[in-house]
Structures are given as structure tokens and as C-alpha cells.
């Protein structure tokens, strides 16, 4: 089970690093990739990106170093909330094609949260 959790944490980490980095530090590229990014404030896109990047740190570092490993399931829970809010945002905008990624990342984050609690 531990190996499966680490694999999922790695997948989540890679996905959130990619999307978080683009949202936080490559705003123009984010607007090209995600239409919604050009329709909300740049500050909100930056904030979401930073939250995702901090979440990745909490997802991996505490468990890997065994320093406050209880933070890992909290980070996974936080990322699950971010993804759930994103899915709700896409439903409200009738962007149904975008929700599939949200559902997959939500399931993976919940798996890590439950597995690490």
C-alpha cells in the first residue's frame, strides 16, 4: 500500500507542479492553455498556482523526511478541495470537458489523504 501511495503522490506532484507553475509564473501560457484563466483576475490565477505548489511540498516532503508526516494527508485533503472547487467552477461555466481531469485528480488526492491518515 505504501508503494501505491508513493506512486500516486508522485503523479499528483507532477500534475500540480505543471499546472501550479504555469498558473503562478507563466500567466500568458496559462491563458493560452485554459480559456478560463483569461476570464478571471491574474491575481486569482497566481493564487491558485501558489496554493497548488505549496500543496505539492506538503504532499511529498513531510512523508519523505518523516518530519511531521501528518501534514501529508492534510496537504492531500487541501489539494482535493482545490480540485473540487475547480470542478464546481467548470460546472458553473458549463465547461464539462474540463471536469474529467478534476475528477481524476480529486480521486487521487482523496486516495492519498485516506491512505496517509
Q: Hey, where are the domains in the chain? A: 2-116
pLDDT of 95: 87
Q: Let me know: does 56 contact 82? Beta carbons within 8 Å.
A: no
Mean pLDDT across the chain, nearest whole number? 95
pLDDT of 80: 98
User: What is the Cα–Cα distance from 110 to 23, expressed in whole angstroms?
Assistant: 23
| φ/ψ (deg, to 5) at 62 | -60, -40
pLDDT of 21: 97
Residue range 89-115, pLDDT digits in tens? 999 999 888 899 999 999 999 999 999
Amino acid at each position: 500500500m505504501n508503494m501505491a501511495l508513493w506512486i500516486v503522490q508522485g503523479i499528483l506532484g507532477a500534475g500540480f507542479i505543471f499546472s501550479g507553475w504555469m498558473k503562478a509564473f507563466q500567466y500568458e501560457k496559462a491563458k493560452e492553455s485554459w480559456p478560463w484563466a483569461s476570464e478571471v483576475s491574474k491575481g486569482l490565477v497566481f493564487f491558485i498556482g501558489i496554493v497548488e505548489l505549496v500543496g505539492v511540498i506538503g504532499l511529498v516532503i513531510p512523508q519523505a523526511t518523516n518530519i511531521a508526516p501528518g501534514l501529508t494527508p492534510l496537504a492531500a485533503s487541501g489539494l482535493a478541495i482545490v480540485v473540487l472547487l475547480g470542478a464546481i467552477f467548470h460546472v458553473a461555466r458549463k465547461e464539462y470537458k474540463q471536469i474529467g481531469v478534476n475528477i481524476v485528480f480529486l480521486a487521487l488526492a482523496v486516495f492519498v489523504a485516506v491512505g496517509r491518515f
